[in-house]
Amino acid sequence: MKLGIRLKFTLFLAVLLLLSIGLLSAFVLRGIQDNQTAQIEDVLARQTQLANLRLRQEYYTETPYEDALVFYKREGVRLASELADLTGMPVTLYARDRSVLGSSIRTVRTGLTQPEGAGTESLDYALAGSIAYFRQGAEGGTILYFAPVEGPQEQLGAIRFDYPIDSYLSFYQAIRRLFLIVGGAVAAAAFLLGYAYYSRFATAILKLKASADRIRMGQFLTEEPLARRDELGELGRGITYMSGEIRRNMAGLEDERSKLAQAVERLQALEHRQKQYIGNISHEFKTPLTTIKAYTELLGMYPDDPQLLGEARVSIDKEAQRLYEMVEKVLRLSALERYDFELEASEVDAAAALHDVAARMRGKAEQFGVTLEIRVRPSTVWCDAESFMHIFTNLLDNAIKYNRHGGTAKVEGGPVEEAVRLVVSSTGLSIPEDAREKIFEPFYTVNKDRARLSGGSGLGLSLVKRLLEAQGGRIELLRTEGEGASFELIFPAVQPKLPAD
């Protein structure tokens, strides 16, 4: 059977109230029991002290006995009667052998061994110097309280008080009945009021559900389903807003489809560029490999030709070096494009690093008849040291290869505000105006014949741009008149501030 939401809420409230009242009743009744027990124990303890005090007083002032134990045994009947009158409770006196010496209860005769069962155990505790008590009968309307009787030098026996607790039990039962009546009435009233109260919420929730079903079937809302100012009203306004947003989103679906078509076209263009990139790599790799293969075949045909051996060694070494540089640049470009490279940026002494690069490139410059000049003012850049070396190695390599014999390749510049501006220029070939934006594309070369002769692959400037942008810098081809080419590089001088999250 399916329970409605209003009935579920009402039953939950009723169970919660019953549980709360039950726990409260249990704690209160337990507190009443503990309080009654403490009161009874206090009353009987004071009566025990009063009885012992009266027995000592009788022994010292009104009797001729020298032995307290003899006095206690012979005067037991009288003492029990007097103590009963004094305390207002039935009193029974016991000797150390459990025999009854005297009792104010007529049914108990002296000389008998009393009582039996739980009373015997309690009497033993009292004769051993402790206090013990228990309820007598099934209803427990009387407490039998046993306590030791102390003489001047030793324990004389035990005393029993029969303490009626009917008033305590009546009070406890009345409180328990009151809790049952009040708890039942409160639970019933809570059930009825809760059912009426939660019916309003259930009706509102059902309206919200009906509104959601309408939206699911494509029937969008034109007004709020609930006119309330509480959380349910806010939920209704939220559903109305959601309905409007869904309608607007569906209305703009055609625009999204158009954008998706454009994205597909862009992906196709990217795929075409990727295939062209792979084709360029294959073509550029094929040229040095073809040269190497041709010379190996000639060496197989003419192994004793010394002139051929010399040419083959020089050409194979040149093409192998070109192939190695191409592979290294392609791998670095691929890594920069595919992975989020974590460059270890730090403060780099630009002048010292450039002198180091120039020292490495000095041999190649002398081979091409080019003079290297480093004119950099003292400056510090924030950059990955290895990337800095790669950037200027590639730029100086181009400045040497595409220079004229007897020409110059130089680096100059220094700090500019919070950056460092460096310019790499050469006196070699100039770059046409229509090639200014293309020279940073992979495998693009201004003069393919000159590039093959010099071992260029068209990857150096593309790699330089990617490495520089990864450092937070930029590169630009400066306009030059006449021969040569100049590149402006901007590096951050301090660590860039990361954007706040």
Mark whether 315 and 348 lie in a shared domain. no
Instruction: Give the model confidence (pLDDT) of 114-127 as tens digits.
Output: 555 567 888 888 88
Mark whether 331 and 347 lie in a shared domain. no
Interatomic CA distance for residues 26 and 328, integer angstroms: 84
Please report whether residue 407 resides in a domain: yes
Please report whether residue 459 resides in a domain: yes
- Average pLDDT of the segment spanning 191-213: 75
Mark whether 165 and 291 lie in a shared domain. no
Mark whether 329 and 350 lie in a shared domain. no
Mark whether 132 and 50 lie in a shared domain. yes
Mark whether 50 and 166 lie in a shared domain. yes
- Average pLDDT of the segment spanning 350-359: 90
Please report whether residue 178 resides in a domain: no
Report residue 421's pLDDT band, with 50, 70 and 90 as the boundaries. Answer: very high
Question: Tell me, what's the pLDDT at 495?
Answer: 64
Write out the two tokens for 437.
């934006």
Interatomic CA distance for residues 364 and 41, integer angstroms: 112
Interatomic CA distance for residues 362 and 138, integer angstroms: 117
Report residue 281's pLDDT band, with 50, 70 and 90 as the boundaries. Answer: low
Write out the two tokens for 284.
């550029």
Please report whether residue 31 resides in a domain: yes
Domain, as residue range, for 44 = 5-171
Other Cβ atoms closer than 10 A to 412: 16
Q: Are 151 and 58 in contact (CB under 8 A)?
A: no
Q: Are 487 and 475 in contact (CB under 8 A)?
A: yes
Q: What is the CATH number of the domain that holds 82?
A: 3.30.450.20
Instruction: Give the model confidence (pLDDT) of 175-198 as tens digits.
Output: 888 888 887 888 788 777 777 777
Beta bridge partners of 95: 157
Residues contacting 443, CB < 8 A, separation 6+:
277, 280, 281, 284, 457, 458, 459
Mark whether 300 and 361 lie in a shared domain. no
Mark whether 297 and 377 lie in a shared domain. no
171, 195, 217: which is the final residue of a domain?
171
Interatomic CA distance for residues 86 and 477, integer angstroms: 123
Please report whether residue 252 resides in a domain: no
Q: What is the pTM of this model?
A: 0.40
Q: Order the strands of the 371-376 sheet from edge to edge.
A: 371-376, 408-416, 419-426, 485-492, 474-478
**SS3 sequence, 330-399?**
HHHHHHHHHCCCCCCEEEEEHHHHHHHHHHHHHHHHHHHCCEEEEEECCCEEEEEHHHHHHHHHHHHHHH
- Average pLDDT of the segment spanning 35-41: 89
- The total number of structural domains in the chain stands at 3
Mark whether 285 and 387 lie in a shared domain. no
Task: Report which DSSP code applies to 63.
Answer: -
Q: What is the CATH number of the domain that holds 308?
A: 1.10.287.130
